[in-house]
Amino acid sequence: MVEIKGDVTLGKLPLTYRVLFTAFLLTIGLGLCMAGAQIMLTHGMADGKAGLSMDDIVYSYYGNRSGSKLEAALTGKMKDKAPQDANFTLIQWARDEAPIAQWDKVGPLLEKNCAKCHDAESGLPEVAKKEVAISLAEVDHGASITSLTRVSHIHLFGISFIFLFVGWIFGMAEFNQRWKIILISTPFAFLVLDIASWWLTKFWPGCAWFTMIGGLGYSVAAMVMFIASFAQMWLPRWTKK
């Protein structure tokens, strides 16, 4: 078994380890791209417009308190999913504080236009169910404390492991020691800032800027480590004996 010693650099690693590390980095890189796409398709559409903006972040965590989640969806990303008259009826029902007496009129509209996508297997709110529809018709206060707690611990545990292994690989790169330490520690710092900003934005919408800064910070640091690691594992300048 080949032992990787502390003074071994990426370019001097056996081919087996270079292939292993490259496969890991490529897979993780693809996963991060998918995560970015998921953000654009969920949070990025919170204001009904394509692209991630400050409003998207505020609506996701603080909420759009001028109306309900149901109205925001029907005037935004779900606008074209139902006929205009159905949207009007549903929005008016939400503005009237979702009276149960009108469920016989509203329920069939949700069943016809929404249920085929918002089903039990989709992971989306089952809006054709009365209790779910009524909750979505309430004023939008953004992410709940329960959901923030759940998503925060998942991200802190999961993404920290990604940065641990990426940093471990990059730690064997030939790089200025000071900048190497900064680059290895930066993603962790910006990850904490990113998640802390969700909680801050929940109560103070002006803190949404920190979400942008956090995501950008750890993305740039990770990209530098990715590129440097790939280059030193495969370019002749570093791999020649």
pLDDT value, residue 46 = 66
Residue 153 and residue 40 share a domain: yes
pLDDT value, residue 172 = 92
pLDDT value, residue 119 = 76
Q: Which of 4, 32, 36, 6 is nearest to 163 (CA)?
A: 32
Domain tally, the chain: 2
pLDDT value, residue 2 = 44
Structural domain boundaries enclosing 216: 10-44+143-239
pLDDT value, residue 197 = 94
Residue 227 and residue 184 share a domain: yes
Residue 234 and residue 150 share a domain: yes
Residue 222 and residue 107 share a domain: no
Out of 91, 111, 136, pick the residue that ends a domain.
136
Tell me if residue 68 falls in helix, strand or coil.
Answer: strand
Angle (CA) 19-239-226 rounded to 5° is: 55
Ranges of beta strands (E only) in 16-58 are none
Out of 84, 112, 136, pick the residue that ends a domain.
136
Q: Are 174 and 11 within 8 A, CB to CB?
A: yes
Residue 150 and residue 129 share a domain: no
**Residue 183 falls within a domain, yes or no?**
yes
- The tokens of 37 are what? 């796409």
pLDDT value, residue 155 = 92
**Residue 104 falls within a domain, yes or no?**
yes
Residue 164 and residue 226 share a domain: yes
- The tokens of 74 are what? 């029907």
Q: What does each of the 241 residues of the chain score in pLDDT, given as a tens digit?
A: 444 555 678 988 999 999 999 999 999 999 988 988 888 877 766 666 777 788 888 888 888 777 777 877 887 777 788 888 888 888 888 888 788 888 888 888 888 888 888 877 777 788 888 888 888 887 777 888 999 999 999 999 999 999 999 999 999 999 889 999 999 999 999 999 999 999 999 999 999 999 999 989 999 999 999 999 999 999 988 776 5
What is the DSSP secondary-structure string of 91-132? Answer: HHHHHTT--GGGHHHHHHHHHHHTTTTSSTTTSS--TTSHHH
Cα separation, 202 vs 173, in Å, equals 40
Helices and strands per DSSP (H, E), number in the chain: 10, 0
**Residue 4 falls within a domain, yes or no?**
no
- Which positions ≥6 away from 202 have C-beta within 8 Å? 61, 62, 142, 143, 145, 148
Residue 198 and residue 132 share a domain: no
